[in-house]
């Protein structure tokens, strides 16, 4: 098989100005709900892109855990590579790719930590194994073997039993969007692509981009 010959015709839907929301958050909510209802695998999975002090970009998959008019929220280890990069450069980009629906959403903006109260509430809603795992994994650090993680999990499990507190190095981030793009695959590569840009008055400018 020649990878250059792999092609797909996109014909499931369309995205028009008249049928899309003026508020990009509402458009995102609609598409996310349609991805959930369509039983797309892991519809809440998104790519997070950050840039380090060396100006090299890096990406990873994280899970969106909340969104409202304030922005998009996820949780992670503050000491991880992404945490360190966000500490030095608080701008980031997110991308959702719902393959089965032939849709992509791209979001850019500034990132800030959520409040301790929000992080505490979400942390204590997680399964016990996940809460212990937040203590056990020195995320992004080099470890000798998987045994390090297993040993750490056993140690912190014995220490905290059923009530592990939220680690000080773990919590939430919120990206406050100033730029959105919604992409809907179309036939003959004439895809639909709408961009929303935040205006100075707090409203949104919606424009169509060539695909």
> Could you list the active site residues?
189
Helices marked H in the chain — which ranges? Answer: 24-37, 81-88, 116-123, 128-136, 146-160
Q: How many CB atoms lie within 10 A of CB 50?
A: 23
Residues 6+ apart with CB under 8 A from 87: 78
Backbone angles phi, psi at 83, to 5 degrees: -65, -40
Alpha-carbon distance of 134 to 150, in angstroms, equals 12
Token code pair at residue 6: 């792999």
CA distances to 44, 109, 144 from 86, rounded to whole Å, are: 21, 12, 27
What is each CA distance from 49 to 81, 142, 158, 194, in whole angstroms? 11, 21, 36, 21
Nearest CA to 130 out of 159, 156, 96, 94 is that of 156
């Amino acid at each position: 098989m020649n990878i250059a010959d792999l092609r797909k015709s996109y014909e499931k839907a369309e995205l028009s100005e008249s049928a899309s929301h003026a508020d990009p958050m509402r458009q995102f909510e609609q598409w996310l709900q349609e991805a959930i209802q369509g039983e797309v695998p892991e519809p809440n999975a998104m790519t997070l892109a950050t840039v380090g002090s060396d100006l090299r970009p890096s990406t990873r998959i994280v899970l969106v855990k909340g969104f409202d008019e304030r922005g998009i929220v996820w949780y992670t280890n503050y000491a991880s590579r992404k945490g360190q990069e966000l500490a030095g450069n608080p701008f980031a980009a997110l991308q959702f790719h719902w393959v089965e629906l032939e849709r992509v959403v791209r979001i850019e903006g500034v990132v800030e930590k959520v409040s301790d109260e929000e992080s505490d509430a979400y942390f204590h809603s997680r399964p016990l194994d996940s809460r212990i795992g937040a203590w056990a994994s020195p995320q992004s650090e080099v470890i000798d073997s998987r045994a390090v993680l297993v040993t750490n999990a056993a140690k912190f499990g014995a220490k905290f039993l059923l009530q592990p507190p939220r680690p000080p190095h773990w919590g939430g981030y919120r990206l406050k969007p100033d730029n959105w793009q919604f992409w809907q695959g179309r036939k003959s590569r004439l895809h639909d692509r709408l961009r929303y840009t935040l205006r100075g008055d707090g409203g949104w400018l919606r424009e169509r981009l060539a695909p």
